[in-house]
Amino acid sequence: VGSSGAGKSSLLGLLLGWHRLADGRLWVDGHPMGEGDIEALRRQVAWVDPAVQLWNRSLLDNLQYASDGDGLSQVGRTIEAAQLRAVAGTLPHGLQTLLGEGGARLSGGEGQRVRLGRALMQPTPRLVLLDEPFRGLDRPQRHLLLTEARRWWAATTLLCVTHDVGETLAFGRVLVVEQGRIVEDGRPRDLALANSRYRQLLAAE
C-alpha cells in the first residue's frame, strides 16, 4: 500500500523484469536473480493488472491463454470464481464470442474479471502478482473477488497492490511504500494500532 506514485507497481515490475535495478541486487527465495532467472520466474507468475492484454479472440481462448491449452476441465470452476457466468451470458455467442482488440466488447470491470480468470487458469504458479486487480468494479465486488483470489492461491506467495487499504487488514503482512522505499513492514493489525504511516492511510480511507 501507499499513495499514488509511491513505487508499488515498480516493485512488481522488478519481479516481472519490466524494470532493471540501477543499483543493488534482486533476491527471490534467498537467491540473487540474474536476467535468465527473471525470465524463468515470469513464466511461473500469475499476473492480474489492467495493462494485461486481452486479445480479439473468443472469451474461452482468452481464458485459456495461460493454461497451455490444457485447461478445459478447469473452465467451469474458473468462470464461477471470477464471476464470469453473467458476463458470458450477455455475449451473443457466450464463451465463443470474440472480445475485440483489448477487450473492446467488455466494460472495464468485465475485462478485469477476464484477466483474473486467465490468471486462475495458470497451472501451479510460483508467484501471484495483483496490481489494482479489480479496478472498475464496486467495492463489494472487489472484496468478493479478492477473497476468492486469496482462497484459490492460499498455498502460493501472493503480492497485492491496492488502494483499498482496509482490505489489507485481513492479510498476514503489509508493506508501506513511499518514494520508492519500503518504510513499514509488519502485521497490518499491529501497524494499525501503532503511530504508523499505515494507520494514517487507513484513517484517510
Q: What is the pLDDT of residue 73?
A: 82
Q: What is the pLDDT of residue 34?
A: 87
Alpha carbon of 7 to those of 60, 85, 173: distances in Å?
Answer: 34, 35, 18
Q: What is the pLDDT of residue 69?
A: 62
Q: What is the mean pLDDT of residues 136-144?
A: 94
Q: Which residue has the higher pLDDT, 57 or 71?
A: 57
Distance CA 139, CA 141 (A): 5
Digit-coded pLDDT (tens) for 153-166:
999 999 999 999 99
Q: What is the pLDDT of residue 70?
A: 65
Residue 31, phi then psi, degrees to nearest 5:
-125, 140
Q: What are 112's strand-pairing partners?
A: none
Digit-coded pLDDT (tens) for 67-106:
876 667 889 999 999 999 999 999 999 999 999 999 999 9
Q: What is the pLDDT of residue 99?
A: 97
Within its chain, how far is the Cα of 58 from the centroid? 22
Helices (H) and strands (E) counted in the chain, each on its own, are 9, 7
Q: Write the burial class of residue 93 (CB in 10 Å: 0-12 exposed, 13-18 middle, 19+ buried).
A: exposed
With CA atoms as reference, report the closest residue to 47 among 117, 105, 147, 138: 117
Digit-coded pLDDT (tens) for 19-37:
988 899 999 999 999 888 9
Instruction: Flag whether pLDDT at 5 surpasses 70.
Output: yes
Q: What is the pLDDT of residue 72?
A: 79
With CA atoms as reference, report the closest residue to 16 among 35, 49, 38, 48: 38
